[in-house]
Amino acid sequence: MEEKTCGDLIIIGGAEDKKGDKVILKEICNRIDKDKDEVVIATVASGIPDELGREYREIFTNLGVKNISILNVVERKDAFEKANVNLINKASVVFFTGGDQLRITSLLGGTSLYKIMRESYEKGCIYVGTSAGASVMSDTMIVTGPEDDSPRKCTLKMAPGLGLIKDVIIDQHFAQRGRIGRLLVGIAENPQIIGIGIDEDTAIVVNNKAQFKVIGSGAVYVIDGSEISKTNVSEQNQDEILSIFNIKMHVLRRDDKFDLNRRTP
């Protein structure tokens, strides 16, 4: 069986608590030496990178992290800059902020920076993503699709992600934006992979054995389509309601665990 992960990931459903107990952000800090290790804030997805960079720098500084850098890639040429490559080389944590996940893949794909990110991940750097930064962690990501609506055939736009975790689709802001329908469509179209919907202020902490634990205040929804017996998925009549039989869903809360290889909670 091909390994789904080769390192540690923290994948956040967006809108993590930044002012109260900061459970998720503290989890990141607890995994590093706050005096010595480098946290790199990657604002690639954002249209307001300077503002987001300042916000997260302040948060991690207040949590005791001494070494914080901002990776600000605005154009593809920035992803070939040696200074940016060196930032990733010395990072212990790379934190992708929210924004537009297509910005991440279109700006980083095929660049020197993307190559060094893959290498650093394999060597033990922890990769973290929130909101758009969460969706981009998988090898296939949802770009757009109807929210808060019944699932309809072929209404989902997907694209390749960064591929740090394989054979899953991740969706974020899940219950808050009513995204169950679009994740069901994604799994109906790709029943060999697992769908993971993550609520706001909720995260999965994934280890190198492709097992994860839930942290935060919300729920995580795991959709398994491997035993689907019938669907009406096709390119014809694309706006028809999706019909799907024998699909399995697990709902997990704080401290619940899931094994992605065995597909079992």
Residue 81 annotated among the catalytic residues of the structure:
no
Residue 120 annotated among the catalytic residues of the structure:
no
> Which residues are 87's β-sheet partners?
none
CA distance between the termini of the chain: 19
Q: Which residue in the block uniquely carries the two structure tokens 């996940």?
A: 101
CA distance 13 to 182: 16
| Number of CB atoms found within 10 A of residue 152's CB | 18
Q: How far is CA 211 from CA 98, 120, 226, 241, 263, in A?
A: 24, 20, 18, 33, 10
Q: Which of 38, 69, 135, 173 is catalytic?
A: 173
Q: Which of 46, 120, 131, 135 is catalytic?
A: 131
Provide CB contacts within 8 A for 25, sequence distance 6+.
Answer: 16, 17, 18, 59, 60, 63
Residue 131 annotated among the catalytic residues of the structure:
yes
> Taking a C-beta distance cutoff of 8 angstroms, is the pair 41, 70 a contact?
yes
Q: Is residue 202 helix, strand or coil?
A: strand
* DSSP-assigned letter for residue 151: -
Q: How far is CA 116 from CA 80, 113, 206, in A?
A: 11, 5, 21
CA distance 225 to 61: 42
* Edge-first strand listing for the sheet containing 257-259: 67-71, 38-42, 91-96, 126-130, 9-12, 202-206, 211-216, 257-259
Which residues carry out catalysis?
Answer: 131, 173, 200
